[in-house]
């Protein structure tokens, strides 16, 4: 009892719901892209990640942040990161759900939709806690690149695909599960990794092939307690990709020294470090001097995860905003029934559904890698989805936060989930290639001969469904053929994203969602802030579809 007043008109939080069961946009996108997919595992995961128990783990892992222990009490270096038990609970749950390397197991690959199942699971897990998904994502993404050292992949495959989480610092063969990270960025350059100064000198060869001694540093090195890393270093042939384990095959600890952990805006549960290598042992992956394309095989997959992750965060923020406004009253009505709030929420719902549709469409291309059309779409849509979805994230989070008024801005010991989402949002846009780098990468992708034709084919099913989409669809292949200069690359990436999102919504979403999306994003019936949809939109239908329960 409060002594002075009764507490009322404060909404109950969104807890113990099935995050998959209520996500109609995700269900439609999966039914369209992977009709044979059995969604039972997602329904099971939706209940886990929506539970109050797991939400408590997410809060605790973000409040009790990782601590670096460089030395033990005897003055010996140990280079360990200590985590709260809730961090380990989250890692255990994500690994058990197969969100790291499991999609590459023979069993999962045989289904034909391993990447889409895992993509939807990853998106759902993001709604619980995104920062532990950094090592999960890297452990997923590493397989295509690591396979180019077949001897290492043979030894590590079982651990990378297993559903067991094993945080012990032990030699790979003694572990039930393995995780991996990546090290490219150095102080003098992250986008332009050609500036890397870390050196790798030949040091004989063994069962894993050519061995090197690595000396240098990495300025950003996330999840340094992973079992191994793909890194870039200069050899006599140029920048090369190397496999650097923390524990060497003979059981000794590799010469990797963690200097400090980054003090970050968000992403608090994840440890991101600065490291130095002092004659560390590493093995060549792929060809010497071809390090950038080699490690980009990993980067392509982590870029998919950036798009999935931001889509998940959008959905989480939208769900919280809808839950809050459906209960909170102001000026005699629940907020969700106030016309202008309806407009804000519906506009956010359109953005969230479009992000979900585009991210899961991109995931489909990873499952159909032998199909020539999917290959081109994979190359085009990876930078497009990473650029556009992640770019929209921060603006989206701010608006969703505002729906909660002052409560949205409050941390309250980690209970203010909106604040956590807001702090997390810019990250997916920066790492794995920031916005400009993605837009420039799209130009590179468009230089492929069949890019314009593939884009036209992708948009074809939505022809004659909305005049604004038809206009954009007619114009885009010409702009693609003419190949815009770098100066216009962001605009082109935006327009390709919007056209593909609209074409997908034409095929997966109700008419209310599709037409409001096209009217606003393609036909100019929109302002510069969320909440400026034209009055003709079917607000109730859009909101009903988006409700989180
Ligand atoms: C929390 C966190 C964790 C990270 N973890 C890792 C990790 O585990 N491993 C790892 O290797 N890296 C990691 N990174 C690094 C991240 O990938 C880089 O910060 C990012 O790639 C940008 O590189 P940079 O910081 O050197 O910025 P810069 O390369 O200096 O770029 C600065 C800005 O310039 C723009 N820019 C660059 N070149 C051009 C151009 N030609 N034209 C127009 N604009 C351009 C970029 O888009 C960017 O906006 C992490 C970063 C963060 C924030």
Which tens digit of pLDDT belongs to each residue from 83-118? 999 999 999 999 999 999 999 999 999 999 999 999
**3-class secondary structure for 229-241?**
EEEEEEECCEEEE
pLDDT score recorded for residue 413: 84
Mutate to test the pocket of ligand 1, among 138, 186, 191 (most ligand atoms within 8 A of CB): 191
Ligand 1 site, residue 104, Cβ cutoff 6 A? no
DSSP letters, 439-472, are HHHHHHHHTSTTHHHHHHHHHGGGTTS-HHHHHH
Rounded CA separation 179/169 (Å): 11
Residues 546 and 400: their CA atoms lie apart, in Å, by 14
Q: Return the ligand 1 atom nearest residue 270 CA.
A: 1
Which residues have CB under 8 Å from 106's CB, separation 6+?
A: none
For residue 483, pLDDT over 80 is answered with no
CB-facing half-sphere around the CA of 31: CA atoms within 13 A: 10
DSSP state at residue 103: G
Instruction: In whole angstroms, give the CA distance from residue 518 to residue 191.
Output: 34
Q: Is 384 strand, coil or helix? A: helix
Pairing of strands 180-183, 228-235: parallel
Q: Is the CB of 195 under 6 A from ligand 1?
A: no
User: Cα(233)–Cα(70) distance, rounded to whole angstroms?
Assistant: 24
**CA-CA-CA-CA torsion sign (105, 358, 28, 345):** positive
List helix spans (H) across 270-371. Answer: 291-325, 339-367
Asked if 544 contacts 414 with a C-beta cutoff of 8 angstroms, the reply is no
Report residue 447's pLDDT band, with 50, 70 and 90 as the boundaries. confident
How far, in Å, CA of 371 to CA of 19, rounded? 32
> What is the pLDDT confidence band of residue 156, given thresholds at 50, 70 and 90?
very high
Ligand 1 in reach of 9 Cβ (< 6 A): no
Which residue has its alpha carbon closest to ligand 1 atom 51? 431
C-alpha dist (Å) from residue 91 to 120, 131, 178: 17, 10, 12
What pLDDT is attached to residue 449? 79
Can you tell me the distance from the alpha carbon of 46 to that of 23, in angstroms, rounded to the nearest whole number? 9
* b (16+ CB within 10 A) / e for 128-162: bbbbbbbbbbbbbbbbbbbbbbeebbebbbbbbbb
412 conformational bin, left if phi > 0, alpha if psi -120 to 50, beta if neither: left
Q: Which residues pair with 257 in a beta bridge?
A: 276
Write down the pLDDT at residue 484.
Answer: 67
CA distance 169 to 151: 22
Collapsing DSSP to helix, strand or coil, 503 comes out as: helix
* Secondary structure of residue 181 in the 3-state scheme: strand
Residue 423 CA, chain-centre distance (Å), reads: 15
- Protein residue whose Cα sits closest to atom 16 of ligand 1: 431
Beta-ladder partners of 456: none
Average pLDDT, the chain: 97
pLDDT of residue 477: 85
The helix (H) or strand (E) run that includes residue 272 is: strand 272-284
CA distance 42 to 161: 18
CA separation for the pair 382, 373 (Å, rounded): 14
Residues 322, 336 contacting (CB under 8 angstroms): yes
Q: What is the mean pLDDT of residues 293-322?
A: 98
Average pLDDT over residues 287-307: 97
Residue 9 burial (C-beta neighbours within 10 Å; 0-12, 13-18, 19+): exposed
Tell me how far apart the alpha carbons of residues 198 and 218 are, in angstroms, rounded to a whole number: 8
Q: What is the DSSP letter of 520?
A: I
Provide the pLDDT for residue 485.
87
* pLDDT level of residue 16 (50, 70, 90 thresholds): very high
Q: Are strands 67-71 and 77-82 parallel, antiparallel or unpaired?
A: antiparallel
Percentages of the chain per state (helix, strand, coil), in multiples of 5: 55, 15, 30
Q: Is the CB of 434 under 6 A from ligand 1?
A: yes
Please indicate whether residue 273, judged by its CB atom, sits closer than 6 Å to ligand 1.
Answer: no
Q: Give yes or no for residue 181 CB within 6 A of ligand 1.
A: yes
* Overall pTM surpassing 0.95 (yes/no): yes
Range 183-206 average pLDDT: 97
pLDDT at 482: 81
Does any ligand 1 atom lie closer than 6 A to the CB of residue 188? Answer: no
pLDDT > 90 fraction of the chain, expressed in percent and rounded: 96
Residue 152 in contact with residue 243, Cβ under 8 Å?
yes
pLDDT, tens only, 349-404: 999 999 999 999 999 999 999 999 999 999 999 999 999 999 999 999 999 999 99
Regarding the beta carbon of 185 and ligand 1, being less than 6 Å apart is answered yes
Q: How far is the CA of 219 from the centre of ligand 1 (A)?
A: 11
Mean pLDDT of 321-345: 98
Pairwise CA distance, residues 67 & 258, whole Å: 12
Alpha carbon 135 to chain centroid, angstroms: 11
Helix and strand numbers (H, E) in the chain are 19, 11
pLDDT exceeds 70 at position 1: no
């Amino acid at each position: 009892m409060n002594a002075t007043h009764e507490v009322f008109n404060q909404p109950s939080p969104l807890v113990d719901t099935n995050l998959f069961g209520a996500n109609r946009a995700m269900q439609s996108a999966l039914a369209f892209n992977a009709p044979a997919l059995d969604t039972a595992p997602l329904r099971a995961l939706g209940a886990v990640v929506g539970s109050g128990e797991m939400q408590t783990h997410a809060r605790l892992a973000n409040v009790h942040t990782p601590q670096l222990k460089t030395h033990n009490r005897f003055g010996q270096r140990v280079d360990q990161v200590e985590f709260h038990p809730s961090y380990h609970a989250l890692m255990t749950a994500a690994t058990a759900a197969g969100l790291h390397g499991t999609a590459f197991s023979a069993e999962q690959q045989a289904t034909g939709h391993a990447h889409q199942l895992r993509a939807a699971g990853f998106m759902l897990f993001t709604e619980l806690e995104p920062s532990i998904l950094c090592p999960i994502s890297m452990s997923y993404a590493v397989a295509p690149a690591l396979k180019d050292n077949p001897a290492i992949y043979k030894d590590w495959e079982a651990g990378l695909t297993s559903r067991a989480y094993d945080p012990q610092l032990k030699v790979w063969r003694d572990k039930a599960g393995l995780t991996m990270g990546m090290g490219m960025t150095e102080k003098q350059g992250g986008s332009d990794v050609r500036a890397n100064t870390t050196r790798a000198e030949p040091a004989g060869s063994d069962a894993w092939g050519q061995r090197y001694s690595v000396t240098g540093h990495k300025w950003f090195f996330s999840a340094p307690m992973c079992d191994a890393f793909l890194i870039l270093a200069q050899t006599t042939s140029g920048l090369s990709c190397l496999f650097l384990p923390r524990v060497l095959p003979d059981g000794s600890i590799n010469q990797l020294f963690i200097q400090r952990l980054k003090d970050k805006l968000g992403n608090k549960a994840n440890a991101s470090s600065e490291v130095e290598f002092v004659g560390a042992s590493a093995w060549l992956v792929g060809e010497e001097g071809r390090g950038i394309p080699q490690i980009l095989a990993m980067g392509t997959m982590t870029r998919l995860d950036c798009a999935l992750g931001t889509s998940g965060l959008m959905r989480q923020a939208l769900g919280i905003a809808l839950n809050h406004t459906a209960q909170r009253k102001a000026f005699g009505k629940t907020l969700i029934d106030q016309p202008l709030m309806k407009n804000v929420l519906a506009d956010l719902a359109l953005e969230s559904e479009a992000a979900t549709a585009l991210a899961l469409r991109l995931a489909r291309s990873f499952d159909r890698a032998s199909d020539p059309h999917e290959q081109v779409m994979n190359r085009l849509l990876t930078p497009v989805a990473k650029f556009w979805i992640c770019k929209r994230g921060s603006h989206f989070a701010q608006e969703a936060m505002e729906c909660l008024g002052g409560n949205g801005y409050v941390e309250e010991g980690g209970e203010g989930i909106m604040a956590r989402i807001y702090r997390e949002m810019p990250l997916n846009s920066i790492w794995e290639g920031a916005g400009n780098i993605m837009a420039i990468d799209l130009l590179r992708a468009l230089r492929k001969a069949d890019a314009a034709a593939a884009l036209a084919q992708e948009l074809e099913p939505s022809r004659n469904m909305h005049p604004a989409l038809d206009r954009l669809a007619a114009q885009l292949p010409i702009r693609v053929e003419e190949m815009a200069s770098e100066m216009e690359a962001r605009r082109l990436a935006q327009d390709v994203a919007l056209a593909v999102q609209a074409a997908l919504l034409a095929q997966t979403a109700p008419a209310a969602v599709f037409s409001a999306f096209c009217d606003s994003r393609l036909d100019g019936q929109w302002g510069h802030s969320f909440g400026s949809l034209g009055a003709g939109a079917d607000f109730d239908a859009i909101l009903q579809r988006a409700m989180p329960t």
